[in-house]
Amino acid sequence: MADVDLESEQYEKNREAGEILAEVRDEAAEMVEVGVAHLEVAEWAEERIRELGGEPAFPVNISVDHEAAHATPAPDDEETFGEEMINLDIGVHVDGWLADTAVTVDLSGNNELAAASAEALDAAIETVEAGVDTSEIGAAVEEVIEGYGYKPVVNLTGHGLGHWEQHTEPNIPNRAISQGTTLEAGQVVAIEPFATTGTGKVHEGSDEQIFALERQRSVRNRQARQALDQITEEFKTLPFAARWLDVPRVEMTLRRLKQQDVVHGYPVLQEQEGELVSQKEHTVIVTEDGCEVTTRSR
């Protein structure tokens, strides 16, 4: 990718998405306190993103304690925060150009675990420049987290961000691997170390509130058709929450769309019950001699 123009419109939109996102992440993190409802924080953040001129790139993820990813409030959710470890993972797009960020708010008294993923992210970002092997980034993450006496979650990775695509190549591992890939100037990538007291491998739980379009096909049921119209118009292939659909009987409609392979779900990914997971994530644009962090606090 020689001579990428980092001043082009696409990168300006990546930056705009990052700027909106940094503000919303920091404000949302401030709202997380014992007794506050998950749904209140998620809906506030998603609305604030729109007010600032972006669109949510995926539903606000609120992962608690052993949960690592893909948890978002259900339409009628009444859960509130307790003395827990909370990970907020939020995405914004501007015309399909994305930014992705996450932060841990620790209400559980395990600051060290939150510090481990935060410091791992700083170390990872230090290594990024055109020509770096992704294995080197993973090694930096692993070294910091193990230095704290925890494990990185190895089956979750950072990722490239494409146009209307939230997960593209390259994967950014959270440990040293034997076969990495080389980063190039102009790539937009999300780096997201997870640190855990558990095994370092997450598995699928039973809860599922996030979905995405799998393939277009005609559906006969009226609600299903209505939902599919909304999905293709508003979300395209980006993930959406059950609570975002303006159709009656949302759960039944989603079940129907899943059965017909029109949408797929993202089950919550979690460690063993009783363990904790922290996460920190930034989006960066790779440059010749480093990177530009689009989601840094202003």
Look up 165 and say whether it is catalytic: no
The dihedral formed by the CA atoms of 207, 213, 214 and 215, expressed in degrees to the nearest 10: 150
Window contacting Co ion (CB under 5 A); options: 26-34, 124-132, 184-192, 284-292: 184-192
Look up 281 and say whether it is catalytic: yes
Spatial CA neighbour of 98 closest among 166, 28, 27, 4: 166
Longest dimension (CA), the chain: 56
Look up 163 and say whether it is catalytic: no
> Least separation, in Å, of the C-beta of 259 and Co ion?
28
Catalytic hit among 46, 55, 84, 192: 192
Judged by CB, which is closer to Co ion: 194, or 262?
194
Judged by CB, which is closer to Co ion: 108, or 171?
171
> Least separation, in Å, of the C-beta of 239 and Co ion?
11
3-state secondary structure of 54: coil
> Least separation, in Å, of the C-beta of 60 and Co ion?
13
Window contacting Co ion (CB under 5 A); options: 28-36, 66-74, 186-194, 240-248: 186-194
Measured in whole angstroms, how far is the alpha carbon of residue 289 from the centre of its chain?
Answer: 26
Judged by CB, which is closer to Co ion: 9, or 204?
204
Contact positions with Co ion (CB under 5 A) in 258-277: none
Does the CA dihedral 236-159-156-17 come out positive or negative?
negative
Q: Cβ(52)–Cβ(20) under 8 Å?
A: yes
> Least separation, in Å, of the C-beta of 221 and Co ion?
33
Q: Cβ(117)–Cβ(174) under 8 Å?
A: no
Written as six digits, the tokens of 94 are: 């501007």
3-state secondary structure of 209: strand
**DSSP classification of residue 198:** S
> Least separation, in Å, of the C-beta of 69 and Co ion?
8
Catalytic hit among 89, 106, 119, 271: 89
Contact positions with Co ion (CB under 5 A) in 96-155: 100
What distance in Å separates the CA atoms of residue 114 and residue 285, rounded to the nearest whole number?
Answer: 25
Written as six digits, the tokens of 127 are: 């290594």
C-alpha separations of 36 from 13, 79, 83, 127, 261 in Å: 33, 8, 11, 38, 36
Determine, following the binding rule CB under 5 A, whether residue 190 of this chain makes contact with Co ion: yes
> Least separation, in Å, of the C-beta of 67 and Co ion?
15
Look up 159 and say whether it is catalytic: yes
| Unique residue bearing structure tokens 């972006």 | 54
Q: What separation, in Å, do the N-terminal and C-terminal C-alpha atoms of the chain show?
A: 30
Catalytic hit among 38, 70, 93, 159: 159
Burial of 94 from C-beta contacts in 10 A (0-12 / 13-18 / 19+): buried
Look up 78 and say whether it is catalytic: no
Look up 100 and say whether it is catalytic: yes
Catalytic hit among 136, 167, 214, 292: 167
Judged by CB, which is closer to Co ion: 22, or 190?
190
Window contacting Co ion (CB under 5 A); options: 92-100, 143-151, 212-220, 224-232: 92-100
Judged by CB, which is closer to Co ion: 145, or 227?
145
Window contacting Co ion (CB under 5 A); options: 95-103, 149-157, 241-249, 260-268: 95-103
Spatial CA neighbour of 276 closest among 4, 81, 10, 87: 87
Judged by CB, which is closer to Co ion: 103, or 190?
190
Binding site for Co ion (CB under 5 A): 100, 190
Q: Give the residue numbers marked as catalytic.
A: 89, 100, 159, 167, 192, 281
